[in-house]
Amino acid sequence: MRAVAALRAVKVRAPAKINLHLAVGATRPDGFHQLATLYQAVDLYDTVHARRDGSGAVTVTVADAAGDPVLGVPSDGSNLCVRAALLLRAHTGLTTTGVALHVLKRIPVAGGLAGGSADAAATLLACDALWRTGLDLEALLGLARRLGSDVPFALVGGTCTGTGRGELVTAQPAGPRLTWVAATSSRGLSTPRCYAELDRLRGRERARVAELPTALLDALRGDGAGLVDALLTTARNDLTPAAMALRPGLGELVRAGAQAGARLAMLAGSGPTVLFLGADRSHASRLAAQLLGRIDVDGVHLLTGPVPGAQRVG
Ligand code: ATP
């Protein structure tokens, strides 16, 4: 029998997500909200480098593309990468194997693009390969669900419906390629705060049921040609009023993008990133150039989807 050489290092990248539709229903007894969402993975990636650590320690460092530290991301045990590695280790019974993780962060922090979830998904895949734990996708999804609502989708990628609190994902036909401009802010918006504000705004109104529009799902499951029209007629992100209450300038940014010719302008997840749908890549580039000049926009990214979920790249 041939011995399998131990791996010393593994690199995995995982994509940001956008919500093509986000319906938020009632608050559940566990405090989470009932969601019905259509996720799409886009080509903006965080990369997790995992290196074997013989001491048994699980550590993480985080830097941006320039090598600078990233504000707002913890480097202690609360970092989602550390939690993911420790969860995988406990699940597989490996107690003495450690890992030094390094995150190359490109996904804006607390931007509504689920960067932390991408990092957790990438870590699960990286440690599974590094430690040769050989878990199948179902087992990895089970761990991902315990780490956060968006983590399972970051593993699967493509285009998926998400139900429950978003963690129950079902793959859908990819649909046509879509190009978006994401206008980002360097000041993040806390997702829990956004949901709390939504509850406050909704007050005592009757509990809602979160459902995806049939027209949207039909368009996706057909030949995909009608998807953009279906998006335009059914567009919805229920977190919008809450995010706009917390960050009043967002409404103006959405209007400015629509006036600049975006086919659709909507909040990304819980914001503060705003997404503008371009007719094609060159239209999106022109939109991006216009938005970059605004005082309330700190960065723009051209995002194309769908792309696959977390993947080993080294
Ligand atoms: P959510 O996925 O909850 O909608 P988001 O996409 O708006 O959130 P994230 O970038 O995922 O924002 O970060 C949410 C918070 O999670 C951050 O403010 C940070 O404190 C914490 N966090 C923990 N680990 C990480 C990580 N590896 N990367 C980014 N944030 C992390």
pLDDT digits (tens, 9 = 90+) for 227-277: 999 999 999 999 999 999 999 999 999 999 999 999 999 999 999 999 999
Q: Are 18 and 180 in contact (CB under 8 A)?
A: yes
Using one digit for the tens of pLDDT, what is the confidence trace for 149-173?
Answer: 999 999 999 999 999 999 999 999 9
At which residue do the structure tokens 């593994």 appear? 10
Residue 4 lies in a domain: no
Residue 1 lies in a domain: no
- Spell 55-64 as b/e; 16+ CB within 10 A means b: eeebbbebee
pLDDT of res. 88: 97
Q: Is the full-model pTM beyond 0.75?
A: yes
Q: Give the CA distances from residue 38 to residues 67, 89, 185, 272, 308, in Å, rounded to whole numbers and listed in that order.
A: 34, 31, 24, 19, 15
Which structural domain, as residue segments, surrounds residue 25? 9-173+307-312
pLDDT of res. 208: 81
Residue 207 reports pLDDT greater than 80: no
Rg (CA), the chain: 20
Nearest to 47 by CA among 87, 102, 1, 108: 102
In this structure, the answer to whether residues 141 and 232 fall within a common structural domain is no
Residue 3 lies in a domain: no
pLDDT of res. 222: 83
Counting ligand 1 atoms within 8 A of each CB, the residue from 45, 109, 151, 270 with the most, and so the one to mutate, is 109
In this structure, the answer to whether residues 52 and 200 fall within a common structural domain is no
Distance of CA 313 to the CA centre of its chain: 19
> Looking at residues 130-143, what average pLDDT do you find?
96
Cα of 58 to ligand 1 centre, how many Å? 19
Residue 127 lies in a domain: yes
Count of helix runs (H) and strand runs (E) in the chain:
10, 11
pLDDT of res. 4: 61
Q: Which residues are CB-contacts of 30 (< 8 A; sequence separation ≥ 6)?
A: none
CATH code of the domain covering residue 94: 3.30.230.10
pLDDT of res. 3: 54
Q: Are 163 and 211 in contact (CB under 8 A)?
A: no
In this structure, the answer to whether residues 79 and 120 fall within a common structural domain is yes
Q: Are 262 and 255 in contact (CB under 8 A)?
A: no
- Count: domains in the chain: 2
In this structure, the answer to whether residues 49 and 165 fall within a common structural domain is yes
Q: Give the CA distances from residue 60 to residues 16, 57, 118, 157, in Å, rounded to whole numbers and listed in that order.
A: 20, 10, 15, 24
Q: Which atom of ligand 1 is nearest to the CA of 103?
A: 27
Cα of 74 to ligand 1 centre, how many Å? 9
Residue 218 lies in a domain: yes
Here the tokens at position 257 are: 């993008």
Using one digit for the tens of pLDDT, what is the confidence trace for 197-206?
Answer: 999 999 977 7
pLDDT of res. 127: 97
pLDDT of res. 11: 98
In this structure, the answer to whether residues 38 and 64 fall within a common structural domain is yes
Average pLDDT, the chain: 94
Residue 1 reports pLDDT greater than 60: no
- Provide, rounded to the nearest whole percent, the portion of the chain with pLDDT above 70: 98
In this structure, the answer to whether residues 265 and 194 fall within a common structural domain is yes
In this structure, the answer to whether residues 27 and 161 fall within a common structural domain is yes
In this structure, the answer to whether residues 136 and 192 fall within a common structural domain is no
Residue 80 reports pLDDT greater than 70: yes
CA nearest ligand 1 atom 2, residue: 114
Residue 2 lies in a domain: no
Residue 121 lies in a domain: yes
Model confidence band, residue 299 (pLDDT cutoffs 50, 70, 90): very high
Q: Which residues are CB-contacts of 167 (< 8 A; sequence separation ≥ 6)?
A: 144, 145, 148, 149, 150, 151, 152
pLDDT of res. 232: 95
CATH code of the domain covering residue 270: 3.30.70.890
In this structure, the answer to whether residues 50 and 103 fall within a common structural domain is yes
In this structure, the answer to whether residues 199 and 167 fall within a common structural domain is no
In this structure, the answer to whether residues 208 and 130 fall within a common structural domain is no
CA nearest ligand 1 atom 9, residue: 110
**Cβ atoms within 10 A of the Cβ of 184, count?**
22
Using one digit for the tens of pLDDT, what is the confidence trace for 91-114?
Answer: 999 878 899 999 999 999 999 999
> Looking at residues 115-142, what average pLDDT do you find?
97
Ligand 1 environment, Cβ below 6 A: 72-74, 79-81, 103, 109-117, 119, 150, 188, 191, 269-270
In this structure, the answer to whether residues 138 and 192 fall within a common structural domain is no
Residue 161 lies in a domain: yes
Residue 5 reports pLDDT greater than 70: no
Cα of 79 to ligand 1 centre, how many Å? 9
